Amino acid sequence: MDHLIAYMTGLGGSASAAQLRTYFTKRQLSRAVGAGAVVRSARGIYSLGALGDAERLSLEARAALFGRSAALAHGLGILHQPPAVELAVPRGRRVRRIPGTAIATRLLPPADLVGVGAVRATSPVRTVLDCAAMLPFAEGLAIADSALRQGLANREELEAGAGQWVGRNKAALRRVLRHMDPRAANAFESGLRAACLEAGVHMEPQATIRTARRDYRVDLAKKLRLVAEADSFEWHGGREALHRDCTRYNELVRAGCTVLRFSWEHVMYEREWIGEVVSEVESRAEVHNSRLVLPRSLPLTA
């Protein structure tokens, strides 16, 4: 069930039945629905149960959805579910404690709030800025990448907002804006890229590598032909998928690539170890490539 919830979180909290059937069985989905973790929100559409709780608690507290709860409301991909519904009220207002919520007091000009269903939430731009400033780098980067990818915010708007930022952690906010990239396919991949960046390794998302057999698009790559893949187990559930994956992997190695594969658990809980591995392998690859002339027929393009 954790993987199903993580998959839906990466898509912004909701998914069609067709999307879910691609990677999960009917039994897995039924189990998640029975546990209340997933709800059938419309014909053929399933949403995380936490979204309904967020709306109810937002109305009860007379507060705006904030942080990761706002990101989920806008359909932005996040790495981790917030432990409580994140809400915000204007500064100066007395806050009543409500179980299941984390209520912050913030400057909330009307321009930074939008309607989402029956409740209000911080706008996509404000949500990206808040999350970039207050969350760990990987979390903020995943949300910023998602906002750019979905067209809910653009660089100009985010840079303008950062220029007027009066809150804390402006350096953390700037760091996310410096590295955000709309090419990232999902939050899982953004988390992997963040781990590489934290280790000082800059990699291109969704790069295409030409091999002798065909062109392959990989999650992350570097010019020295270092590849890092965010490997979800749902992609390899059958014999045909395994065969296709083995062919792909071997063709990339045949083309001179060093391919590193990281699981969902690695990205969620072991990003420091990912950084150590990528950094060490990159150093080794630099030495190797300084002695190696690759065929011109095998370029890497972003």
Q: What is the pLDDT of residues 196-213, one digit of tens each?
A: 999 999 999 999 999 999
d(CA 73, CA 114): 11
Q: 181 with 202: CB under 8 angstroms?
A: no
Residue 34 pLDDT > 80: yes
Residue 111 pLDDT > 70: yes
d(CA 271, CA 196): 8
Mean pLDDT of the chain: 87
d(CA 228, CA 196): 9
Domain ranges of the chain: 47-179, 187-301
Determine the pLDDT at residue 298: 45
d(CA 214, CA 36): 44
Of residues 13 and 142, more confidence is placed in: 142
- Distances in Å between the Cα of 80 and the Cα atoms of 69, 97, 102, 268, 275 are 11, 23, 15, 8, 19
Reported pTM: 0.81
Q: 23 with 54: CB under 8 angstroms?
A: no
- Highest-pLDDT range among 108-122, 133-147, 211-225: 133-147
Residues contacting 217, CB < 8 A, separation 6+: 206, 207, 208, 209
* 164-187 pLDDT tens trace: 998 889 999 999 999 999 999 999
Find the mean pLDDT for residues 249-275: 94
Q: What token pair was written down for 106?
A: 């913030």
Residue 291 pLDDT > 70: no
- Highest-pLDDT range among 125-129, 161-165, 241-245, 268-272: 125-129
Of residues 246 and 95, more confidence is placed in: 246
d(CA 143, CA 163): 19
Q: Which of 17-21, 124-128, 189-193, 205-209 has the lowest mean pLDDT?
A: 17-21
CATH entry 3.40.960.10 includes domain 187-301: yes
Confidence of residue 297 (pLDDT cuts 50, 70, 90): very low
* 73-90 pLDDT tens trace: 998 999 998 999 999 999
Q: Which of 24-28, 42-46, 285-289 has the lowest mean pLDDT?
A: 285-289
d(CA 212, CA 210): 7
Of residues 21 and 214, more confidence is placed in: 214
Residue 283 pLDDT > 70: yes
Residue of 294, 232, 233 lying closest to 258 (CA atoms): 294
